[in-house]
Protein backbone atom coordinates (compact mmCIF):
# COMPACT_ATOMS: atom_id res chain seq x y z
CA UNK A 1 0.00 0.00 0.00
CA UNK A 2 2.84 2.37 0.89
CA UNK A 3 4.57 1.64 -2.44
CA UNK A 4 1.34 2.26 -4.31
CA UNK A 5 0.87 5.59 -2.53
CA UNK A 6 4.37 6.70 -3.50
CA UNK A 7 3.73 5.78 -7.14
CA UNK A 8 0.46 7.71 -7.07
CA UNK A 9 2.18 10.72 -5.57
CA UNK A 10 4.87 10.66 -8.26
CA UNK A 11 2.23 10.37 -10.98
CA UNK A 12 0.34 13.36 -9.63
CA UNK A 13 3.59 15.29 -9.39
CA UNK A 14 4.41 14.59 -13.02
CA UNK A 15 0.93 15.68 -14.05
CA UNK A 16 1.32 18.87 -12.03
CA UNK A 17 4.64 19.61 -13.70
CA UNK A 18 3.09 19.01 -17.11
CA UNK A 19 0.18 21.33 -16.36
CA UNK A 20 2.44 24.02 -14.93
CA UNK A 21 4.66 23.84 -18.02
CA UNK A 22 1.66 24.33 -20.27
CA UNK A 23 0.35 27.22 -18.19
CA UNK A 24 3.75 28.96 -18.28
CA UNK A 25 3.05 29.90 -21.91
CA UNK A 26 0.45 32.49 -20.86
CA UNK A 27 2.12 33.67 -17.65
CA UNK A 28 2.70 37.38 -17.28
CA UNK A 29 6.33 38.47 -17.15
CA UNK A 30 7.11 40.03 -13.77
CA UNK A 31 9.56 42.64 -12.63
CA UNK A 32 10.10 45.07 -9.77
CA UNK A 33 7.83 48.10 -9.46
CA UNK A 34 8.28 50.52 -12.38
CA UNK A 35 7.62 54.22 -12.97
CA UNK A 36 3.96 54.82 -13.75
CA UNK A 37 3.18 56.26 -17.21
CA UNK A 38 2.41 59.97 -17.18
CA UNK A 39 -1.25 60.67 -17.73
CA UNK A 40 -1.54 62.83 -20.83
CA UNK A 41 -4.31 63.50 -23.30
CA UNK A 42 -8.01 62.88 -22.75
CA UNK A 43 -9.01 61.28 -19.46
CA UNK A 44 -11.82 58.74 -19.71
CA UNK A 45 -13.39 57.51 -16.45
CA UNK A 46 -13.65 53.75 -16.08
CA UNK A 47 -17.22 52.48 -16.36
CA UNK A 48 -17.45 50.36 -13.20
CA UNK A 49 -20.84 48.96 -14.23
CA UNK A 50 -19.43 47.25 -17.35
CA UNK A 51 -15.86 46.54 -16.18
CA UNK A 52 -14.91 43.34 -14.37
CA UNK A 53 -12.00 41.15 -13.34
CA UNK A 54 -12.56 37.41 -13.72
CA UNK A 55 -10.32 34.99 -11.84
CA UNK A 56 -9.66 31.28 -11.99
CA UNK A 57 -7.60 29.21 -9.57
CA UNK A 58 -6.70 25.55 -9.40
CA UNK A 59 -5.74 22.80 -7.06
CA UNK A 60 -2.27 21.43 -7.79
CA UNK A 61 -2.07 19.81 -11.21
CA UNK A 62 -5.07 21.71 -12.56
CA UNK A 63 -7.63 19.74 -10.57
CA UNK A 64 -10.92 21.13 -9.16
CA UNK A 65 -10.71 24.64 -10.62
CA UNK A 66 -12.56 27.47 -8.93
CA UNK A 67 -13.54 30.69 -10.64
CA UNK A 68 -15.45 33.88 -10.07
CA UNK A 69 -15.39 37.67 -10.34
CA UNK A 70 -14.10 40.79 -8.62
CA UNK A 71 -15.62 44.24 -9.10
CA UNK A 72 -13.73 47.15 -10.63
CA UNK A 73 -14.40 50.07 -8.28
CA UNK A 74 -13.00 53.07 -10.15
CA UNK A 75 -10.23 54.29 -12.43
CA UNK A 76 -9.48 56.04 -15.70
CA UNK A 77 -7.71 55.56 -19.03
CA UNK A 78 -5.70 58.26 -20.77
CA UNK A 79 -6.01 58.52 -24.55
CA UNK A 80 -3.40 60.50 -26.48
CA UNK A 81 -3.21 60.63 -30.29
CA UNK A 82 -5.78 57.87 -30.58
CA UNK A 83 -3.89 55.49 -28.30
CA UNK A 84 -4.22 54.44 -24.66
CA UNK A 85 -1.05 55.83 -23.08
CA UNK A 86 -1.68 55.58 -19.35
CA UNK A 87 -4.32 54.79 -16.77
CA UNK A 88 -5.17 52.88 -13.64
CA UNK A 89 -8.04 51.12 -11.97
CA UNK A 90 -8.97 50.08 -8.45
CA UNK A 91 -10.36 46.65 -7.60
CA UNK A 92 -12.76 46.11 -4.69
CA UNK A 93 -11.36 42.99 -2.97
CA UNK A 94 -14.38 42.72 -0.69
CA UNK A 95 -16.43 41.99 -3.81
CA UNK A 96 -14.72 38.64 -4.49
CA UNK A 97 -17.34 36.17 -5.69
CA UNK A 98 -17.05 32.42 -6.29
CA UNK A 99 -19.19 31.04 -9.10
CA UNK A 100 -21.33 28.26 -7.54
CA UNK A 101 -20.88 26.24 -10.76
CA UNK A 102 -17.18 25.82 -9.90
CA UNK A 103 -17.89 24.15 -6.55
CA UNK A 104 -19.25 20.71 -7.32
CA UNK A 105 -18.38 18.85 -4.09
CA UNK A 106 -21.38 18.19 -1.85
CA UNK A 107 -19.46 19.18 1.29
CA UNK A 108 -18.17 22.50 -0.11
CA UNK A 109 -19.95 25.86 -0.22
CA UNK A 110 -19.05 28.88 -2.40
CA UNK A 111 -19.66 31.25 0.52
CA UNK A 112 -17.10 29.43 2.66
CA UNK A 113 -14.47 29.77 -0.08
CA UNK A 114 -15.27 33.48 -0.46
CA UNK A 115 -14.72 33.94 3.27
CA UNK A 116 -11.43 32.06 3.11
CA UNK A 117 -10.18 34.09 0.14
CA UNK A 118 -10.91 37.29 2.06
CA UNK A 119 -9.05 36.06 5.14
CA UNK A 120 -5.39 36.62 6.06
CA UNK A 121 -4.55 33.26 4.45
CA UNK A 122 -5.06 34.89 1.05
CA UNK A 123 -5.97 38.53 0.32
CA UNK A 124 -6.53 39.79 3.89
CA UNK A 125 -9.35 42.07 2.75
CA UNK A 126 -9.78 43.71 6.16
CA UNK A 127 -6.21 45.01 5.97
CA UNK A 128 -6.12 45.47 2.18
CA UNK A 129 -9.66 46.31 1.00
CA UNK A 130 -8.55 47.25 -2.52
CA UNK A 131 -6.01 46.24 -5.14
CA UNK A 132 -4.78 48.49 -7.91
CA UNK A 133 -3.28 48.31 -11.39
CA UNK A 134 -1.31 51.28 -12.75
CA UNK A 135 -0.13 51.25 -16.37
CA UNK A 136 3.60 51.81 -16.81
CA UNK A 137 3.75 51.35 -20.61
CA UNK A 138 1.68 50.43 -23.66
CA UNK A 139 3.46 49.29 -26.84
CA UNK A 140 2.55 47.63 -30.11
CA UNK A 141 2.65 43.85 -29.87
CA UNK A 142 5.98 42.84 -31.39
CA UNK A 143 5.11 39.19 -32.06
CA UNK A 144 2.16 36.82 -32.03
CA UNK A 145 0.92 36.30 -28.48
CA UNK A 146 1.55 32.99 -26.76
CA UNK A 147 -1.14 30.41 -26.15
CA UNK A 148 -3.76 31.54 -23.67
CA UNK A 149 -3.64 35.26 -24.46
CA UNK A 150 -6.80 37.22 -25.11
CA UNK A 151 -8.12 36.85 -28.65
CA UNK A 152 -7.35 39.87 -30.80
CA UNK A 153 -4.40 41.02 -28.68
CA UNK A 154 -2.69 43.99 -30.35
CA UNK A 155 -0.64 45.61 -27.58
CA UNK A 156 1.83 44.75 -24.85
CA UNK A 157 0.77 46.32 -21.58
CA UNK A 158 2.94 46.64 -18.49
CA UNK A 159 1.71 47.85 -15.15
CA UNK A 160 2.24 47.82 -11.42
CA UNK A 161 -0.20 45.36 -9.84
CA UNK A 162 -0.69 45.80 -6.11
CA UNK A 163 -2.14 42.83 -4.23
CA UNK A 164 -2.21 42.42 -0.46
CA UNK A 165 -0.13 45.54 -0.05
CA UNK A 166 2.74 44.41 -2.31
CA UNK A 167 3.45 45.81 -5.79
CA UNK A 168 4.92 43.81 -8.69
CA UNK A 169 5.17 44.93 -12.30
CA UNK A 170 3.48 42.55 -14.77
CA UNK A 171 3.65 42.50 -18.58
CA UNK A 172 1.13 40.76 -20.83
CA UNK A 173 -0.49 40.93 -24.31
CA UNK A 174 -3.77 42.83 -24.38
CA UNK A 175 -6.52 43.88 -26.72
CA UNK A 176 -6.64 47.66 -26.52
CA UNK A 177 -9.29 49.55 -28.46
CA UNK A 178 -10.00 53.27 -28.77
CA UNK A 179 -13.10 54.83 -30.31
CA UNK A 180 -14.67 58.28 -30.16
CA UNK A 181 -15.12 59.03 -26.47
CA UNK A 182 -14.31 55.51 -25.27
CA UNK A 183 -11.47 53.04 -24.72
CA UNK A 184 -11.09 49.51 -23.43
CA UNK A 185 -8.40 47.12 -22.25
CA UNK A 186 -8.94 43.36 -22.27
CA UNK A 187 -6.37 40.78 -21.26
CA UNK A 188 -5.96 37.27 -19.90
CA UNK A 189 -2.80 36.14 -18.14
CA UNK A 190 -1.53 33.98 -15.29
CA UNK A 191 0.37 35.16 -12.23
CA UNK A 192 2.08 33.36 -9.37
CA UNK A 193 0.38 34.58 -6.20
CA UNK A 194 3.51 33.79 -4.18
CA UNK A 195 5.17 36.77 -5.94
CA UNK A 196 2.86 38.95 -3.83
CA UNK A 197 3.56 36.99 -0.65
CA UNK A 198 0.27 35.05 -0.82
CA UNK A 199 1.74 31.69 0.10
CA UNK A 200 -1.02 29.73 1.81
CA UNK A 201 -1.00 26.18 0.50
CA UNK A 202 2.23 26.55 -1.48
CA UNK A 203 4.70 24.67 0.71
CA UNK A 204 5.55 21.42 -1.06
CA UNK A 205 7.60 20.44 1.99
CA UNK A 206 4.35 20.16 3.94
CA UNK A 207 1.98 17.50 2.55
CA UNK A 208 -0.95 19.24 4.26
CA UNK A 209 -0.38 22.28 2.05
CA UNK A 210 0.53 20.46 -1.15
CA UNK A 211 -2.78 20.63 -2.96
CA UNK A 212 -3.21 24.29 -3.97
CA UNK A 213 -1.64 25.73 -7.12
CA UNK A 214 0.28 29.00 -6.97
CA UNK A 215 -1.17 30.07 -10.31
CA UNK A 216 -4.10 32.47 -10.63
CA UNK A 217 -5.56 33.17 -14.07
CA UNK A 218 -6.73 36.77 -14.35
CA UNK A 219 -9.01 38.08 -17.10
CA UNK A 220 -9.33 41.86 -17.18
CA UNK A 221 -12.13 43.68 -19.00
CA UNK A 222 -11.91 47.41 -18.35
CA UNK A 223 -14.06 49.88 -20.25
CA UNK A 224 -13.84 53.65 -20.04
CA UNK A 225 -15.98 56.37 -21.60
CA UNK A 226 -16.91 60.03 -21.33
pLDDT score at 208? 56
Q: In the prediction, which pLDDT does 212 show? A: 81
CA atoms of 181 and 43, how far apart (whole Å): 10
Phi/psi for 17 (5° steps) reads -65, -40
Q: Is 97 exposed, middle or buried (0-12, 13-18, 19+ CB in 10 A)?
A: middle
pLDDT, tens digit, 9 for 90 and up, residues 118-148: 999 999 999 999 999 999 999 999 888 888 8
C-alpha to C-alpha distances, 35 to 20, 89, 132, 141, 207, nearest whole angstrom: 31, 16, 15, 20, 40
| pLDDT on residue 59 | 82
Position 201 scores a pLDDT of 79
The C-alpha atoms of residue 210 and residue 13 are separated, in whole angstroms, by 10
The ranges of the chain with pLDDT < 70 are: 1-25, 204, 206-210
Identify the pLDDT of residue 213: 85
Phi, psi of 197 (to 5 degrees): 80, 10
Q: What is the pTM of this model?
A: 0.85
Q: What is the pLDDT of residue 110?
A: 96
Amino acid sequence: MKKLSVIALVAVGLLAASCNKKKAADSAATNSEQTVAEGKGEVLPVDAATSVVNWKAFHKGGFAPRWGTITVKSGDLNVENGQVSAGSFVIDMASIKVDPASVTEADKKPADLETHLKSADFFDVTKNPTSEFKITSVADLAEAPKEGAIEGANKTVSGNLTLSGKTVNVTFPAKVEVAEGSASVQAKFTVNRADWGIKFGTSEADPAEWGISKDIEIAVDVKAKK
